[in-house]
Homo-oligomer: A and B are copies of this chain.
Amino acid sequence: MSLDPEHDKREQPGPAAGPGRRLSRRHLLLGGAAAGIGAAGAIGVDLVAKTGSGGSAPPPAPLVSGTDTVPFFGVHQAGVDTEAQSRVTFVALNLLADVDRAALRRMMRILTDDAARLTQGEAALADSEPELGVVPARLTVTFGFGPSLVAVAGGLAPGWLKPLPAFTIDRLQPEWNDGDLLLQIAADDPMTVAHATRMLLKDLRSFATVRWVQSGFRRAAGSEKPGTTMRNLFGQVDGTVNPVAGTTDFEALVWDTASGPRWMVGGTGFVLRRISMNLDKWDGLDRSGRESTIGRTLATGAPLTGTRERDEPDFTATTALGFPVIPEFSHLRRARSEDTTQRILRRGYNYDDAPSGGGVSNSGLLFASFQADVDAQFVPIQTRLDTLDLLNEWTTPIGSAVFAIPPGCTMNGYIGDTLF
């Protein structure tokens, strides 16, 4: 595969590409195909010449909250310590067999350049619908590498970069597992996510095929007070004990320092579990049964021994009958370790797909977590939940994937440049 001459320019993504540059690359990429359209294309060209209504005029400026942006370049990739946006699409891809180290390097340069543009509300370089790129709405694009990609790159993989151990509760469906390359595309606007996803998948056409796509949502931006912990479709407050971005606690739990290969310093580990939630069966459980299953009240998310969401649970408190107030089998109790290094950053989303087979729901959680060391942090928690967690009665993991999230890059670099 020969490298498009425009690609060299992409190594130093700068401020907004002018329309001329955009048209130039589009012409290169699409010129041949467009020539085949015949009458329509030809008449179109004629029209543009005569009416002056060509496509190079800038689209109207967006207003209101859609203009919010998150910086792309930095020590860490965005989309990890970013306050979770309301919409996400996770895409996993399989590398084509002929993609070698040099091709991977080109691939990551192209992806980095377009991701950087799109997150700042600019059209992608070969954007065929530039008007859809003007509402960044806090768009972040986060890249992750699977074991095969690291192997093709000739790098050393972190020890935890492999499929999770088999858990007894798992009913994994291969179509939701694993992958060579991960894109996490998140924004507060579903059109922004759809457009960015499409532009990046177009960039990937010569390098990889889509393995799976999983989309999820939280409450819309502005629906609730900022900082409100999300609720899942069981109605539970979900994610209360997350480490707080910017603290040393967060730094230690999330960002890789020097425990593994050097190219991962400033990166993190990512786990995605597709967890089907049986809402129909959950309906059979009354409110108090639900609360003891979780260990938290539904109304406020407070532990059953407290009154506010962030109160520390008291696992020693007992009822008059001598039972623990927070049951041994509760999700809260089982997820919590005495070892404070066994913690993770949760950044999950709900999914709600069309039901089939007479059910009234096909819903669940895209459980997503970031942690510096998947084996040391995530696996012990999941092992405890696998052994005993009453919530397992209503939830089933049906997909599982682990990716290495490399560090961020400078404006002169590209995501993954420490690996190549």
Residues of A within 8 A of B (CB): 26, 30-31, 33-34, 36-37, 40-41, 43-48, 50-51, 53-55, 57-60, 62-66, 86-87, 128-132, 135, 137, 188-192, 194-195, 197-198, 201-202, 204-205, 209-210, 212-215, 217-225, 231, 233-235, 279, 282-293, 297-300, 302, 304-305, 307, 319-321, 323, 325, 327, 329, 350, 352, 354-355, 358-361, 363, 390, 393
Decide: A190 near B289, CB < 8 A? Known: A58-B299, A132-B231, A222-B222. no
Contact of A62 (CB < 8 Å), options: B189, B210, B224, B307: B224
Decide: A33 near B283, CB < 8 A? Known: A198-B361, A231-B131, A360-B198. yes
Q: Contact: A36 with B284, CB < 8 Å?
A: yes
Q: List 27 A-B contacts (CB under 8 A).
A: A30-B286, A34-B289, A41-B286, A44-B290, A47-B292, A48-B291, A50-B320, A50-B325, A51-B319, A53-B297, A53-B307, A55-B287, A57-B297, A59-B300, A65-B220, A66-B219, A129-B235, A131-B235, A137-B223, A188-B220, A190-B220, A194-B217, A194-B363, A198-B279, A198-B363, A202-B360, A213-B355
Q: Which residues of chain B are near A219, meaning CB under 8 Å? A: 66, 135, 189-192
Q: Which 10 A-B pairs have the closest CB atoms?
A: A44-B288, A129-B235, A66-B223, A33-B284, A55-B287, A34-B286, A213-B354, A44-B289, A190-B217, A41-B289
In the docked arrangement, what's the CA distance between A323 and B51, Å?
12
Q: Contact: B189 with A223, CB < 8 Å?
A: yes
A51 to chain B, nearest CB (A): 6
A277 to chain B, nearest CB (A): 11
In the docked arrangement, what's the CA distance between A51 and B302, Å?
12
Q: Contact: B299 with A64, CB < 8 Å?
A: no
Decide: A86 near B40, CB < 8 A? Known: A60-B300, A291-B53. no
In the docked arrangement, what's the CA distance between A366 and B242, Å?
38
Q: Contact: B132 with A202, CB < 8 Å?
A: no
Max count, chain B CB within 10 A of own CB: residue among A57, A130, A215, A223: A223
Decide: A292 near B40, CB < 8 A? Known: A51-B304, A189-B220. yes
In the docked arrangement, what's the CA distance between A320 and B50, Å?
7
In the docked arrangement, what's the CA distance between A222 and B65, Å?
6
In the docked arrangement, what's the CA distance between A297 and B54, Å?
7
A244 to chain B, nearest CB (A): 20
Q: Which residues of chain B are near A195, meaning CB under 8 Å? A: 233
Q: Contact: B41 with A223, CB < 8 Å?
A: no
Q: Which residues of chain B are near A223, meaning CB under 8 Å? A: 62, 64-66, 135, 137, 188-189, 191-192
Q: Which residues of chain B are near A131, meaning CB under 8 Å? A: 231, 235, 298-299
Decide: A325 near B51, CB < 8 A? Known: A283-B30, A284-B34, A361-B198. yes
Q: Which residues of chain B are near A283, meaning CB under 8 Å? A: 30, 33, 128, 202
In the docked arrangement, what's the CA distance between A205 and B280, Å?
11
